[in-house]
Amino acid sequence: MTTTDGTLAERLGYRADDRVVIVNCDDLGSSHAANDAIYRCLRDGIASSATLMAPCPWANHAIPDYGGEDIGVHLTLTSEWDGYRWGPLTPAPTLRDADGRLPRTIDEVWAQGDLADVRAELDAQIVHAATNGVDVTHLASHMGTLQLDARYFDVYLALAVAHRLPLRLSGRSSQDALGFRFRERADEVGVLAPDHLIVASGQALLDATGELRPGVTELFVHPATDLPELRALAPDWETRVADADRVAAAGPIADRLERQGAHVISYRPLRDLQRKG
């Protein structure tokens, strides 16, 4: 983001050509395996923030373990795993499938979700985290549901304004492909987001992390500990276990960031800057 006050990096106290990185762990609260690995990556690794899936049963385990880390809310409208599913926090009749759970796919959400139900449910997820002691630092959209559709982006942006929180957004170059100018709309209402978003896994993630662009970049991973629970519920359990190793203190991502002289920050500085107006 560039304003009359300079680039986002400059407004945060860095040079315009610095590489500033947020290393975010998604899916806190989704399982015991995720909670264990994410807090380990935040406390002993190079992860600098995480996002909480408030509707998931293990969110009630993650919240009591919170110790002031940078935690945002992973706004959740889907329940996509076959053997382990969750429902909304609110009555939300248009956000329930035949089993009473959140829909399995983004397309189902978009087809049946009433936007009033969507707004109420997502607001409840933020409030649930905040009223249980989490100092919420940012918002992200699970599965990209709120980022990929203009109607749902309206809700996403309205929540960011109401709660005075920065957002995860894809880069400006993706606006044409999505067909709406979400970055400009966020700028107009003073909502901040990192300049770049790395959406990759495995070797592609490592390659992208090794070639950061100037500015503020968010990369996200899905760390989890190799437990029988994880193998039973997550089809991509091997990737999640590998992600925990990737963001360890001596892991490959730390090595790539160090080689580039990257500055690792959390979302909290963006939130504080946004709240200063």
Listing DSSP states for 98-161 in one string gives TTSSPPSSHHHHHHH--HHHHHHHHHHHHHHHHHTT--EEEEEEGGGTTTSSHHHHHHHHHHHH
Surface-to-core class of residue 124, CB atoms within 10 Å of its CB (0-12 exposed, 13-18 middle, 19+ buried):
middle
Ordered by start, the domain boundaries in the chain are: 2-275
Is 146 in contact with 79 (CB distance < 8 Å)? no
Is 26 labeled as catalytic in the residue annotation?
yes
Q: What is the Cα–Cα distance from 202 to 40, expressed in whole angstroms?
A: 20
What's the pLDDT at 5? 75
DSSP, collapsed to helix, strand or coil, labels residue 174 as helix
Amino acid at 91: P
For the chain, the 3-state helix, strand and coil shares in percent, each to the nearest 5, are: 45, 15, 40
Tell me, what DSSP letter sits at residue 235?
Answer: T
pLDDT, tens digit only, all 277 positions of the chain: 444 479 999 999 999 999 999 999 999 999 999 999 999 999 999 999 999 999 999 999 999 999 999 999 999 999 999 999 999 999 999 999 999 999 999 999 999 999 999 999 999 999 999 999 999 999 999 999 999 999 999 999 999 999 999 999 999 999 999 999 999 999 999 999 999 999 999 999 999 999 999 999 999 999 999 999 999 999 999 999 999 999 999 999 999 999 999 999 999 999 999 999 8
Q: Which of 26, 36, 149, 195 is catalytic?
A: 26
Q: Is the distance from CB of 31 to CB of 234 less than 8 angstroms?
A: yes
Phi-psi region of 16 (alpha: psi -120 to 50; beta: other; left: phi over 0): alpha
Instruction: Given CATH 3.20.20.370, say whether it is the number of domain 2-275.
Output: yes
In three-state secondary structure terms, 163 is helix
pTM for the whole structure: 0.96
* 135 is known as an active-site residue: no
Q: Check 36, 70, 222, 243 and give the catalytic one.
A: 222
pLDDT of residue 277: 83
